[in-house]
Chains A and B, each alone.
Chain A
Amino acid sequence: MNRRYVQAKWQLSEGVLEPTVFELGEIGKGGVVVARVEDELRREVGELDDLIPRDLQRGAIGLPGLTEPEVARHYNHLAQMNYGVDSGPYWLGSCTMKYTPKVAMKLESHPSLRNAHPYAPEETVQGILEVLYELQEMLSSITGLPKFTLQPAAGAHGELVGALIIRKRFLDLGERRDEILIPESAHGSNFASAAMAGFKVVRIPPSEEGTVDMGALKAAISERTAGMMITNPNTLGIFESDILEIADLLHSNGSYLYYDGANLNAIMGWVRLSDMGVDLAHLNIHKTFSAPHGGGGPGAGAVGVIEELADYLPVPVIVREGDTYRLDYDLPKSIGRVRMFHGNIGVLMKAWGYLKLLGSEGVRLSSGIAVLNANYARKRLMDMGFEVPYGKDRPCKHEFVISLSRFRREYGVRALDFAKALMDRGVHPPTMYFPLIVQEAFMMEPTESDSLEELDAYVDAMGELADLAKSDPEELLSAPKNTAIGRIDDSFANKRLWLSWKVYKEREGS
């Protein structure tokens, strides 16, 4: 198969694809008036000068003035110069770029949700609370963790909540535990979240198999260890088979095991987190539970905990009393609040719809096929000669990591070049250069949303590029050619720091 892709490209002037909105309309004048003060209201209230002193009134606003058709075309041009999950395979490892069922997508636009005020009396939002409560119940069943908060706005936000819960717990116990253990291959946010919660990070190096080095772990655990953050399968896509021993080591030391749910799509319906000895975890609603990634967000990062930690959840929590639901603000040990109101509700609704659609068997099937797809793609790549540095003799889970260092060594072609050339072949590149323990890494996560034909097309594209790296490396080094724009100069961007139109205009003029 030789799949090709040519992205839409709008070029409206020399050297510029789509102009910015600032170049499309007159600055400081015009725009669409969607609401206005009625004459009668103005007569009643008086002139603006009577309300706001002149020197406090807004002067010119430096926004462009456009008409609705101009704005519509501008942003549609931009949309066409972007690639989404519904465009094609999007193997961004650890990001679980799965398809969002459109029926789940639709739930956020129900008028009864859209028009709901977050402080509306609980008796007027029983429907919303019931759906959220049911979502918590389903997440509890899947993870085995009995209590949930749906407030965190993203995975890393959930990590912060988890780390703060551990911190507060030990403060209450009067124990000085200020260290969190994190495997070196972990997602970067784990380190940052632990640090934000005031912990010192202790890194656990990997074993030769790429899993947690048990000797190093034993050496690192001490009376200062508050807990460990782990993702399982890990970022190499390898299941940490020693997980029960890891949990025992921590628990017998009085420490907690935190689970980073970014990779839950590998084991949903196959392994319960509680059975692995997990004490608390965040789940990425926008990864595992199909809510879309929104070009970077919003997501949601539900946090589940064991009973012992339930009193530490952020307030309010949603509780059920008979047939009614209410928000409970009375958790004296709570870590407090991490955001306004109750969470990214519109995002959470999609997870409810997704799980209802799948049902028990469907959840297990989704993870099963995600893992099957990853193993199939990995074996095909290995059969072509691609190097899998860790765990090649055992099944991978939902993702896997290959190293392209041979191509760099032999032909001067880097993982980056492979990524750019993949785009011309109609697929979104994998996560690159991560985890850091693999040279020239490609972290590939197909998800269950790709068909066999899509898997084969992706793998074939990799095969084609491997051949080209030898016969015509320039083809890779000069890629991409078929995207809206050619290779972007990142270092120029970091030198100039044109971070807004205003900054650009002033710097360019100087």
Chain B
Amino acid sequence: MPMPAEGLIPNASGLATSKMLNYLGIDKLEDLFSDVPSPILMNEPAEIGRPLTQSEVEALYSEKLEKNVSVKLSFMGGGMADHYVPPLVDEIATNQEFYSSYTPYQPEISQGILQTLFEYQSLMAELLGMDVVNASLYDYASALGEAGRFSVRITKRKKILLATTIHPERKAVLKTYMEPLDVQIVEIDREASGEISLDELSAKMDEDVGMVYLETPNFFGVVERKIEDVADMVHSKGALLVVGTDPLLAGIVKPPGELGADVVIGEGQHLGGYMSYGGPSLGIFAVKRSFRHIRQLPGRLIGMTKTVDGKYRGYTMVLQTREQHIRQEEATSNITTNSSLMAVRAAIYLALLGPDGIKSVAEKILYNTEYLKRKLGDLPCFSVLFEDSLHFKEIPVMSEVSWSEVNSWLLRNGILGAFQVSRLFPDVDPTGKLGLLSTTEKHRLADLDIFLGLMREVCS
């Protein structure tokens, strides 16, 4: 009986194989490996188990995934949340022409993906109030790593100021990316509101600083309301302001690009992507229309152009001389494979929702956040951190009852509860009382009330 693998390999059939071996004047596949030193040439395959049929693969996979605990609703925060994915996004992104192609090195046969990525760049630029967005990086955190290196290249300065309120994992990634450059990273404390302290920024801002970075919303879900003041302070010393954001916030709050940010980064997985245990993700990287900045961008860029005969509008990759395949160790980044299909998903999402749909999703998240915040704050055993500030999507909640008890209770009722911050980041919350909840457009008012009912029972 043939192995399942043979159903995937057209020339594995005896007839084709022998025809080809015959043409090459050899007897067996092994003869093609005669250039491998015999001590290291394997006589037997590497052991990974017997081949399974398609139906067995699916059954085994389902059997394993059934060991997961499924939930009806997720309220867990911490930088990822359960968003609604319109079915059209799945429908289009599963066109093999999109998902099975590679980087469009040959533009004439790849206009489809090129135009779609150009539209991603353009739609994202509009949403963020920026001019130029690259064709994607891996994720939000690696985009921050690239932003750090970008800032050092542009300003030639080796100090970075960082709001202390950013996501700890992004802080860690930035450190990894900056370590070889010997850059000093200094943190800026927060005010009582949870927002960046302007006094401390002003005190620490000097002409060695190349980049100032803050996030809105930050790790605690707090929206920064004084970005314009920050921008003035940063620009007066000749540094770059990099703002990390949730692109959905821009549906309801003035985008970083209109508030003075030089670079905007963020996570695009929220736009038409699933949580999928954290990835695949979509790193957003946006700049203003400065040729000095554009020339230093990491990653691929798609540009609109014309055909050689001048008759048609077309698309192609531009400024490839920044990239590793041409510039090698002088490249702006080593990135090659990026996150294009996630950018395709984000493009479809933004094109489908349009201005009204995006605003509506953002507004729903904002209202859900505010509703949960107020109702949770009213409960005797919970209090909301930075309660009087503006929160978006993430709600930091201090609990008098241990979070593991609260979360088990919620889980028994089909709900994924808070992310207990001390579990992974004891430095951020030594008390163990802080949990991050999130809410998205997927939560109807009725869902919020079910959740609040359970939380109320915790306190009684």
CA distance A84 to B340 in the complex (A): 14
Are A338's CB and B108's CB within 8 A? Answer: no
A173 within 8 A of B: no
- Rounded to whole Å, the gap between the CB of B26 and the closest CB of chain A is 8
Query: Which parts of A74-120 form the interface with B (CB within 8 Å)?
Result: 74-87, 90, 92, 95, 97, 99-101, 103-104, 106-120
Query: With A295-B103, A493-B303 in contact, do A115 and B70 touch (Cβ < 8 Å)?
Result: yes
Query: With A82-B110, A359-B51, A497-B318 in contact, do A372 and B29 touch (Cβ < 8 Å)?
Result: yes
On chain B, the residues within 8 Å of A169 by CB distance are none
A261 within 8 A of B: no
B170 within 8 A of A: yes
Instruction: Give the nearest-CB partner of B362 in chain A.
Output: A58
Contact flags (1/0) for A284-312 with B, using CB distance below 8 Å? 10100000111111110100000000000
Q: Which of A265-273, A405-413, A461-469 contacts B (4 or more CB under 8 A)?
A: A265-273
On chain A, the residues within 8 Å of B107 by CB distance are 485, 488, 490
Contact flags (1/0) for B440-459 with A, using CB distance below 8 Å? 01101100000000000000
B246 within 8 A of A: no
| Contact partner, B115, options A78, A339, A353, Cβ 8 Å | A78
CA distance A294 to B250 in the complex (A): 27
On chain A, the residues within 8 Å of B169 by CB distance are 337, 340-341
CA distance A16 to B311 in the complex (A): 9
B433 within 8 A of A: no
| Contact partner, B108, options A51, A57, A484, A503, Cβ 8 Å | A484
Please indicate which of the listed interface residues A64, A99, A116, A241 has the most CB atoms of chain B within 10 Å of its own CB. A116
Instruction: Give the nearest-CB partner of A19 in chain B.
Output: B313
CA distance A298 to B76 in the complex (A): 25
Are A131's CB and B172's CB within 8 A? Answer: no
- Rounded to whole Å, the gap between the CB of B12 and the closest CB of chain A is 6
Contact flags (1/0) for B278-297 with A, using CB distance below 8 Å? 11110000000101001000
Query: Which parts of B99-118 form the interface with A (CB within 8 Å)?
Result: 99-113, 115-118
On chain A, the residues within 8 Å of B92 by CB distance are 72, 75-76, 79
| Contact partner, A83, options B23, B110, B337, B411, Cβ 8 Å | B110
- Rounded to whole Å, the gap between the CB of B227 and the closest CB of chain A is 9
Are B276's CB and A113's CB within 8 A? Answer: yes
Query: With A31-B352, A189-B325, A357-B5 in contact, do A113 and B115 touch (Cβ < 8 Å)?
Result: no
- Rounded to whole Å, the gap between the CB of A358 and the closest CB of chain B is 5
| Contact partner, A452, options B16, B291, B325, B329, Cβ 8 Å | B16
CA distance A252 to B361 in the complex (A): 61
Are A83's CB and B123's CB within 8 A? Answer: no
A197 within 8 A of B: yes
On chain B, the residues within 8 Å of A496 by CB distance are 303-305
Are A365's CB and B12's CB within 8 A? Answer: yes
| Contact partner, A451, options B11, B138, B275, B325, Cβ 8 Å | B11
On chain A, the residues within 8 Å of B316 by CB distance are 488, 490, 493
Query: Which parts of B408-424 form the interface with A (CB within 8 Å)?
Result: 411, 416, 419, 423-424
On chain A, the residues within 8 Å of B186 by CB distance are none
B427 within 8 A of A: no
Query: With A124-B68, A296-B300 in contact, do A368 and B108 touch (Cβ < 8 Å)?
Result: no
Q: Which of B191-199, B234-242, B366-374, B393-401 contacts A (4 or more CB under 8 A)?
A: B366-374
Contact flags (1/0) for B238-281 with A, using CB distance below 8 Å? 00000000000011111100000000000100000011111111
- Rounded to whole Å, the gap between the CB of A287 and the closest CB of chain B is 9
Query: With A37-B363, A114-B275, A297-B341 in contact, do A188 and B328 touch (Cβ < 8 Å)?
Result: yes
CA distance A349 to B103 in the complex (A): 22
B460 within 8 A of A: no
Query: With A92-B102, A428-B109 in contact, do A337 and B173 touch (Cβ < 8 Å)?
Result: yes
A-B contact pairs, 28 of them (CB 8 A): A34-B441, A45-B370, A57-B252, A58-B251, A58-B255, A59-B254, A61-B250, A64-B354, A72-B91, A79-B112, A83-B101, A97-B100, A114-B275, A117-B275, A124-B416, A125-B277, A270-B41, A297-B339, A298-B281, A298-B338, A340-B279, A356-B57, A360-B46, A428-B106, A494-B303, A494-B318, A499-B294, A500-B132
Give 4 nearest A-B pairs by CB, closest first.
A31-B354, A362-B5, A341-B278, A359-B51
